[in-house]
Amino acid sequence: FPPPPPALPPRRTPEEIERLTVDEDLSDIERAVYLLSAGQDVQGTSVIANLPFLMRQNPTETLRRVLPKVREALHVAGVEMQLTAAVSFLTILQDESVSIHSYTHSFLQVILLHLEHRDTGVSNAWLETLLSVIEVLPRETLRHEILNPLVSKAQLSQTVQSRLVSCKILGKLTNKFDAHTIKREILPLVKSLCQDVEYEVRSCMCRQLENIAQGIGTELTKSVVLPELIELSRDEGSSVRLAAFETLVNLLDIFDTDDRSQTILPLVKSFCEKSFKADESILISLSFHLGKLCHGLYGIFTPDQHLRFLEFYKKLCTLGLQQENGHNENQIPPQILEQEKKYISVRKNCAYNFPAMIVFVDPKNFHMELYSTFFCLCHDPEVPVRYTIAICFYEVSKLLNSGVYLIHKELITLLQDESLEVLDALIDHLPEILELMSTGGESSVQENKLSSLPDLIPALTAAEQRAAASLKWRIHEKLLQKYACLPHVISSDQIYYRFLQRMFTIMMTNNVLPVQKAASRTLCIFLRYNRKQEQRHEVIQKLIEQLGQGKSYWNRLRFLDTCEFIIEIFSKSFFCKYFFLPAIELTHDPVANVRMKLCYLLPKVKSTLKIPADKHLLQQLEMCVRKLLCQEKDKDVLAIVKRVSITLARMLHFFFCIKFQKKFYEKDLLDQEKEREELLLLEMEQLEKEKQQNDGRPMSDKMFEKKRRDTKTPTQSLPKNIPISVPGPSSVTPSTSKEIKKSKLIRSQSFNNQAFHAKYGNLEKCASKSSTTGYTPVSELGKTSVLSLTDDSFRTRNASSVPPSFSPNTPLPSTSRGTGNSVDPKSSGSKDTQPRKATLKSRKSNP
């Protein structure tokens, strides 16, 4: 339900309105002075909030006339005005509206005056402003205005609030002075505050010792800071001991090996032994810093200490799970509920530090030492714990390397988790995780190991269905985007039967636009990697009939989105072969929004044409644009058409400009590479069928990989006489010898493996760099293997040179919407099939 509307302000009486009314002829400065002098508190607060603007506009008059009134108002101001003033003063400093000297003279004393305000929130706000001011003040100003008064403010005779403020200021001042000044003037105050009678002061000063240690250097840290930390670690106050422990962990890098082994390690050991007997908050901090502690003390532990520390970590990972929890939660005492929440925080921190513990025990010992703990964390009853381990899953997979197969089942468990938060955390790195799973954690491409994980595909489909059934559409969108990596890890048939139809259903039925677009892009990538001609024809036919010629204008809009993705992912010839005519026929669409979206897409559509080979398609495009210019009745669409027509004319002009020739030439080279890759996949399919017929068995991916390693042929060295790729006379005939066929099959399989194991991120990077004309920079050629799939789109236009098996079994449906016919749009497909095929046959490839 939407939130209730805000309450209406109270009705003002005429007298109140008259009192709050200000003369409109007053300047900003005069109005501010008037409101601070005679206005209400809310008006004064508004003036102070507007003070940075006044300083930027007229700093001299603001400092002379407004700031004195602000000082007077702050003496009796309430909490809201004080907080506003602290923020405004900080903003003025950050904007650099005045010089540091003027700021010190005008604002510093006001800040120092209100540091000890009786309200803690106001005092902290002014303190944050002062700490930011200290960063930019010169050393002499700091000495006279801040350090010298601090000596008296840090005395025991002052209030606790004053001493707490002094602790934080000392931590900030250390980096501003030389070592001699620090040793003589600052360190005595630090020692005094570390021995303060109030535990809050000792704890606050202890937490500032880290900043002080970084400012005074290693030698003074060992001689001054370390003894204080040792003493504070034995303090009677638990918060002081906790602060000392956390500071020691953060300073581990400063101390040498002797200090770590002789001083710090015994303290850590004692702290761990006493932690279960102390407050649970200490356990929370200990579990959070465990990873940093293991890293800092690595190599110092004896085998016995190493084992005891590991057992301590395992005990923390299951803390609170041994207790029976079958009773009603309403009957649990509040103390027990609070304790259980702290135990959950401990287990969550242990999950956060799990990758560090793998390094601690060595990944080779993971199965023996930590697998059972990892299993417990992945099956923890609390969502925050499982969410954290899901975030760390990718790091765990990288550390295990070749042993990543050990956590296959845990991946399935997290994919099937009932909480969408856990799924959301896992899918952030799902492509990388699946790649590690499929390659066994090694960089070299190996036999796909996901075949030994039969539950993966059901888990992936179930995860998508749970995300679709929820109201969290952003998780659903992200999941669909990540599914674009599936062609690299599972077979084409598995994608076709388990995922591709689901993507199509989402495009047709889902009500969230980003989700539909994500499904559309993923479907295009699935189509690009599909290895079977019949399946590709079926998908293309559905896209044209059910989207491009669909009854719902929403589906036709999604068809145009799909066309845009196809332009980015596939070659120009593929788009012109199947989607050019269905796209431009939407210029006759009865819905203005569809025509408008098509107009925005027309520059990209035109960029797919190859002049002069596609001159007939260019004529059809120009005819559609002229018809829109003459017959369009919607004023918004007409305005867009006029702008787009100018862009289209410039595109043709740029093509013939000398300075653009090199740019277009490079893009054409990339497109030719795409066509060659598409051809190789077509040829691979044909030769693989012949291989199956001859041998009576399919060729496995393992055999493909073996041949790829034996013969690594780059795509640039492919023969130019392949009849389906390059126009011109063909030197390959059906009577080619078996040796040549075998060589071509090996090259095709080699290319297929290279493309299928290309980084999914490279594909996205290549697509995102495409310009508005649909091209990809030629510099990306060396970064990714750009793969596009088609069936018979790159045959030579001479029908006699095409093998019969390359022809589709059934013609694609008509691309005409049949606006002038009474026949049903879908049934009118066969009517225009022959004319369109004749048009496409006359089309020649660009030499």
- Could you tell me what percent of the chain has a pLDDT over 70? 74
Name which of 50, 54, 22 is nearest 38 in CA terms.
22
Per-residue pLDDT of 464-516, as tens digits, reads 999 999 989 999 999 999 999 999 888 888 999 999 999 999 999 999 999 99
pLDDT of residue 718: 32
Per the structure, the complete domain to which residue 685 belongs is given by: 657-690
**Packing angle, helices 456-469 and 420-427, rounded to 10:** 120
pLDDT of residue 278: 66
Domain assignment of residue 682, yes or no: yes
The residue ranges of the chain whose pLDDT is under 70 are 1-12, 16-20, 277-279, 323-331, 441-453, 652-668, 671, 695-847
The DSSP code for 218 is H
Question: Domain boundary at 137, 152, 187, which?
Answer: 137
The residue among 670, 690, 710 that closes a domain is 690
Of 557, 607, 554, 551, the residue nearest 583 (C-alpha):
557
Which is nearest to 196 in space by CA: 155, 224, 231?
155
Q: Which two tokens stand for residue 724?
A: 């389906």
**Quick one: pLDDT at residue 661?**
57
Cα gap 344→323, rounded to integer Å: 13
**Cβ atoms of residues 616 and 842 within 8 Å:** yes
**Domain membership flag for residue 669:** yes
Using one digit for the tens of pLDDT, what is the confidence trace for 797-847? 333 333 333 333 444 544 433 333 333 333 333 333 333 333 333 333 343
Distances (CA, A) of 174 to 63, 147, 652: 32, 10, 67
Q: Calculate ∠ Cα 564-565-570, nearest 5°.
A: 110
Q: Is residue 790 part of a domain?
A: no
Residue 155 DSSP symbol: S
pLDDT digits (tens, 9 = 90+) for 533-552: 889 889 999 999 999 999 99
- 345 located within any domain: no
H helices within 530-633, ranges in order? 533-542, 553-569, 572-578, 580-584, 592-607, 615-631
Amino acid at 228: E
Q: Which long-range contacts does 798-804 make (Cβ < 8 Å, 24+ apart)?
A: 799/841, 801/723, 801/730, 802/724, 803/686, 803/734
Pairwise CA distance, residues 563 & 580, whole Å: 9
State in Å, rounded, how far the first CA of the chain is from the last one: 62
CB atoms within 10 A of CB 87: 17
Domain assignment of residue 146, yes or no: no
Spatial separation of the C-alpha atoms in residues 599 and 638, rounded to whole Å? 9
Domain end among 88, 106, 137: 137
Q: Are 349 and 281 in contact (CB under 8 A)?
A: no
662, burial (CB in 10 Å: exposed 0-12, middle 13-18, buried 19+): exposed
Look at residue 650 in the predicted model and tell me its pLDDT: 81
Q: What is the reported pLDDT for 410?
A: 95
With b for 16 or more beta-carbon neighbours within 10 A and e for fewer, the 736-772 pattern comes to: eeeeebeebbbbbbbbbbbbbbbbbeebbebbeebee
Question: What pLDDT shows up at residue 425?
Answer: 96
Query: Hey, what are 834's tokens?
Result: 């022959």
For residue 757, tell me if it sits in a domain.
no
- The alpha-helical segments, DSSP class H, found in 178-225 are 179-181, 187-194, 199-216, 218-220
Instruction: Indicate the residue type of 507.
Output: M
Give the closest residue to 138 by CA, choosing from 147, 129, 126. Answer: 147
- Report if residue 503 sits inside a domain: no
| Within-domain flag for 229 | no
d(CA 838, CA 287): 73
| 249 residue type, one letter | V
Q: Is 3 exposed, middle or buried (0-12, 13-18, 19+ CB in 10 A)?
A: exposed
Residue 686 corresponds to which tokens in the numbers above?
Answer: 């044909």
Task: Quote the CA–CA distance of 463 and 431 in Å, as a whole number.
Answer: 15
Total domains present in the chain: 2
691-695: long-range contacts, CB 8 A cutoff, minimum separation 24: 691/745
As a whole number of angstroms, the distance between CA 310 and CA 757 comes to 38
Please give the pLDDT value at position 253: 87
For 298, residues 6+ apart whose C-beta sits below 8 A from its C-beta are 359, 360
Cα 338 from Cα 284, distance rounded (Å): 13
45-61 per-position pLDDT tens digit: 999 999 999 999 899 99
Residues 6+ apart with CB under 8 A from 712: 750
